[in-house]
Amino acid sequence: MRLLNRSAGRLSRHRRGPIAGLVVLLMGLLMTGGLYAAFAPAQADSTQSQEELVREGRELFIVGCAFCHGQNGEGVLTQGGDQYGPALTDVGAAAVDFQVGTGRMPMAAPGAQAPRKEVVYTDDEIAALSAYVASLGTGPSVPDAELYDPDTLSEAEYDEYVTRGGQIFLANCTACHNFEGSGGAMPRGGVAPKIRGVDPKYIYEAMLTGPQSMDTFSDGNIPPEDKKAVIAYLDTLDEQPSYGGLTLGSLGPVSEGLIAWLIGIGGLVGFAIWIAAHTTRTSRTKDGADA
Amino acid sequence: MTDAHDNHDDTGHGGDGAPEEPIANPGLPAHTWRPTDVDPKSEKRAEIQVAALFGLSAVCTILFVVSYFTYDIGDNWSVIGGVGASTVALGATLGLALLFIGVAIIQWARKIMGDHEITELRHPAASPEEDRETTLEALKIGIEETGIARRPLIRNSALGALGLLGLPAVVLLRDLGELPGDKLEHTIWGQGGRKLTIVEDGKEKTVVVPKMRISRDAIGTPILASDLEIGDLVNAQPEVLFNPERYYVEPNEVHGHHLQVHKSKASLILLRMDPADITPGKGREDWDVQGIVAYSKICTHVGCPISLNERTTHHLLCPCHQSTFDLADSGRVVFGPAGRPLPQLPIEVDEQGYLVAQSDFTEPVGPSYWERDYDRDRFGEGD
């Protein structure tokens, strides 16, 4: 202990020396570099695997996507000039991760909108496809969990985020996705999907990339922190008390009207039929009555 | 009303000699009796049933009162099948109480009350000819005696007085509220860029208020033109609502009730699209910034806030009545009941690159109203 103190003391004598700053700087650089080398994945390997990933992704792309999106992701136009499959040159990895990761792509049939369905590709394949499409041009990359996962927030932060997220949600999302995120109808057969119970990553990516008819909410539009706040708010929606009883899917007048007409008025019709029905009769006659 | 047993030979009413009926009136079938009519035991059972139903209703009513005081609304909101115990108990008991009364009355009527068949004949609705003539005669004599035809002075003054009585009703309508006046012609966007005389250190000074920046709604930060990508939609508000000092506006002018009034007129939709997609209106060539356009968020039909936009078509749809506006084409109405295009806000960038309004809206925002100057809407027709 004394030895340690003594050497520390000796070192301390040099702390105001002319080269002390330089030494500290060098040591800092050395440490950062060393730590990085120790913990970061090996650079050479990573480039190699990135190239490999892109190559693998291209193979998958040619088989599964090129028919509509073109062999180099340049998009395909119909003879009428409409888009058969849009160009993927600047959509980024996030768009692929969202579309393929939620099963929207590959589309089963052409239509107004690609619906959410069973996922066809494995996670590795999705990563490869994302890497390939990202290599075609610009566009947002797949976000880190740090950006979207509300579980990374402390309890006090969480409440603050939920409050803020609720306001942003009301201003920006409710028009299409309904006041409780239950989704709604859009023009020409489209639909704004239900966004409750969706993996936070996909909500983040959807905001970032604006899938299909949805507007983009890029980081310049709604900053990442605020996106996370919206996700935190959505996270709490399912736990909100419904004092009014059954929510009927939180779809507003659509499901409420349906129930009122079918069950309410249907029940009334049933009672009316019962009221007007004939009562049981007997072949016996009342004693002394004239039949 | 006649009893079922003596209506066989009735041939109608009115004494106008109804023609002989081609098919003889078969009359009503013989009355059959209900078990409760002929069997005292059955009658007793029905009586008990009805009484029991009324009794059940009473029990439910008491249960309603009990559950009202037993269950708390706030604490146990997911006790019974995910629904509040209070909600379920109150609804079920009151509903059943009413239902049992209804069922009991119907059961009573069907099983116990008299059920002999009744015939009610249809008679012509008009009074007999004779009565009508007498009435008309009396009316004519009455009119004759008032002399209304001979004394136009009385007639006209009476008509005038009665007609004028409609006026108070119309005048009272004025009490429904203030007239809109020119309130919708100005929004808080106009607070930017104005000249203002202020007194500072005892000296009068003229300052030019900075042009109104466009801020993100709910977030409150101003937007740089470079922040937005093609396809971005921003629900925006004037920055003065978040930072009134910068625009020399009293903070309490943008609080509470005032804030809501300002928002109801100034809410904005900002959209960035490919500049090649835009068909600028006449005189609106410089109203966008590199494909960023700004429109009022208030529908011109009945004033719902709209932000239901399709990125692929730039069509903004109002969820209330499906009015659809083309934001790439001066907010032209492409579908629905809206009568006018969405008002466009001319925008530019300030020295720091933030999006600002060039001026206030150039036409009143929101739905039509009586005093509106419709000459200004000529724009958009035919171009």
Q: Where do the structural domains in chain A lie, given as residue ranges? A: 46-134, 145-237
Residue matched to tokens 């579980």: A151
Could you give phi then psi for residue B77, rounded to 5 degrees?
-95, 0
At A19, is the pLDDT very low, low, confident or very high (cuts 50, 70, 90)? confident
pLDDT at A3: 59
Q: How far is B110 from chain A (nearest CA, A)?
A: 7
Residue matched to tokens 């309130």: B183
List chain A residues with CB under 8 Å of B306: 175
d(CA A258, CA A263): 8
Look up residue A17 and give its amino acid.
G
B32 touches chain A (CB under 8 A): yes
pLDDT at B4: 44
A288 touches chain B (CB under 8 A): no
Residue pair A233/A181 in contact by the 8 Å Cβ criterion: no
At A284, is the pLDDT very low, low, confident or very high (cuts 50, 70, 90)? confident
B31, B84, B313 member nearest A243 (Cβ): B84
d(CA B90, CA B60): 10
Q: How far is A196 from chain B (nearest CA, A)?
A: 18
d(CA A15, CA A10): 9
| DSSP state at residue B357 | E
B113 touches chain A (CB under 8 A): no
Q: Where do the structural domains in chain B lie, given as residue ranges? A: 25-119, 129-176, 184-378
3-state secondary structure chain A: CHHHHHHHHHHHHCCCCCCHHHHHHHHHHHHHHHHHHHHCCCHHHHHHHHHHHHHHHHHHHHHHCHHHHCCCCCCEECCCCCEEECCCCCCHHHHHHHHHHCCCCCCCCCCCCCCCCCCCCCHHHHHHHHHHHHCCCCCCCCCCHHHHCHHHCCHHHHHHHHHHHHHHHHHHCHHHHCCCCCCEECCCCCEECCCCCCCHHHHHHHHHHCCCCCCECCCCCCCHHHHHHHHHHHHHHCCCCCCCCCCHHHCCHHHHHHHHHHHHHHHHHHHHHHHHCCCCCECCCCCCCCC
Whether residue B47 is predicted with pLDDT greater than 80 in this model: the reply is yes
Phi-psi region of B308 (alpha: psi -120 to 50; beta: other; left: phi over 0): beta
d(CA B204, CA B195): 13
At A2, is the pLDDT very low, low, confident or very high (cuts 50, 70, 90)? low
pLDDT digits (tens, 9 = 90+) for A169-189: 999 999 999 988 999 888 888
Question: Could you tell me which chain B residue has the CA closest to the CA of A229?
Answer: B219
pLDDT at B140: 94
Question: Could you tell me which chain B residue has the CA closest to the CA of A207?
Answer: B232
List chain A residues with CB under 8 Å of B221: 223
- Nearest Cα residue to B213 out of B224, B205, B202: B224
- Nearest Cα residue to B373 out of B141, B148, B185: B185
List chain A residues with CB under 8 Å of B319: 175, 184
Please, which residues 244-263 of chain A have a Cβ atom closer than 8 Å to chain B? 244-246
B324 touches chain A (CB under 8 A): yes
Mutate to test the interface with B, among A84, A172, A177, A251 (most CBs of B within 10 A): A172
A216, A226, A246 member nearest B219 (Cβ): A226
At B7, is the pLDDT very low, low, confident or very high (cuts 50, 70, 90)? very low
Average pLDDT of the residues of chain A: 85
Other residues' Cβ atoms within 10 Å of the Cβ of residue A95: 24
List chain B residues with CB under 8 Å of A84: none
Question: Both tokens of residue B359?
Answer: 């001026």
Residue pair B221/B173 in contact by the 8 Å Cβ criterion: no
Residue pair B318/B342 in contact by the 8 Å Cβ criterion: no
CB pairs under 8 A between A and B: 125
- CATH class, A145-237 region: mainly alpha
Order across the sheet with B324-326: list the strands: B308-310, B315-317, B324-326, B332-335
Other residues' Cβ atoms within 10 Å of the Cβ of residue B296: 27
| Record: contact B311-A213, CB cut-off 8 A | yes
| Record: contact B235-A187, CB cut-off 8 A | no
Angle between helices B152-164 and B166-173 (to 10 degrees): 20
A276 touches chain B (CB under 8 A): no
d(CA A202, CA A209): 10
Question: Kind and range of the H or E element at B317?
Answer: strand B315-317
Pairing between strand B292-296 and B268-272? antiparallel
Burial class of residue B2 (count of CB atoms within 10 Å of its CB; 0-12, 13-18, 19+): exposed
| Record: contact B77-A223, CB cut-off 8 A | no
Predicted TM-score of the model (pTM): 0.75
B311 touches chain A (CB under 8 A): yes
Could you tell me the fold of the domain covering B184-378? Rieske Iron-sulfur Protein (2.102.10)
pLDDT at A36: 67
A164, A213, A280 member nearest B310 (Cβ): A213
| DSSP state at residue B223 | -
Collapsing DSSP to helix, strand or coil, B91 comes out as: helix
Residue pair A268/B102 in contact by the 8 Å Cβ criterion: no
d(CA A239, CA A234): 10
B34, B77, B88 member nearest A281 (Cβ): B34
At B77, is the pLDDT very low, low, confident or very high (cuts 50, 70, 90)? low
| Record: contact B307-A175, CB cut-off 8 A | yes
pLDDT digits (tens, 9 = 90+) for A114-154: 889 999 999 999 999 999 999 998 889 999 988 999 888 88
Listed in order, strand segments (DSSP E) in B60-194 are: 118-119
pLDDT at A158: 92
The count of C-alpha atoms lying within 13 angstroms of the C-alpha of A254, restricted to the half-sphere facing its C-beta, is 8
List chain B residues with CB under 8 Å of A187: 310, 315, 317, 324
Q: How far is A125 from chain B (nearest CA, A)?
A: 28
Q: How far is A275 from chain B (nearest CA, A)?
A: 7
| DSSP state at residue B77 | S
B83 touches chain A (CB under 8 A): yes
Q: How far is B190 from chain A (nearest CA, A)?
A: 23
pLDDT digits (tens, 9 = 90+) for B174-228: 888 888 788 888 899 999 988 888 888 888 888 899 999 999 999 999 999 999 9
At A8, is the pLDDT very low, low, confident or very high (cuts 50, 70, 90)? low
A175, A220, A241 member nearest B77 (Cβ): A241
Question: In CATH terms, are A46-134 and A145-237 the same topology?
Answer: yes
When the candidates are 1.10.760.10, 3.30.1370.10, 2.40.50.180, 3.40.50.300, the CATH number that belongs to A46-134 is 1.10.760.10
List chain B residues with CB under 8 Å of A222: 216, 219
Q: Which residues in A111-139 are b (16+ Cβ under 10 Å) and which e?
A: eebbeeeeeebeeebbbbbbbbbbbbeeb
| Record: contact A244-B87, CB cut-off 8 A | yes
pLDDT digits (tens, 9 = 90+) for B229-245: 999 999 999 999 999 99
Q: Which residues in B106-125 are b (16+ Cβ under 10 Å) and which e?
A: ebbebbbeebeeeeeeeeee
Whether residue B5 is predicted with pLDDT greater than 60 in this model: the reply is no
| DSSP state at residue B50 | H
Query: CA-based Rg of chain A, rounded to a whole angstrom?
Result: 31
What is the total residue count of chain B?
A: 383
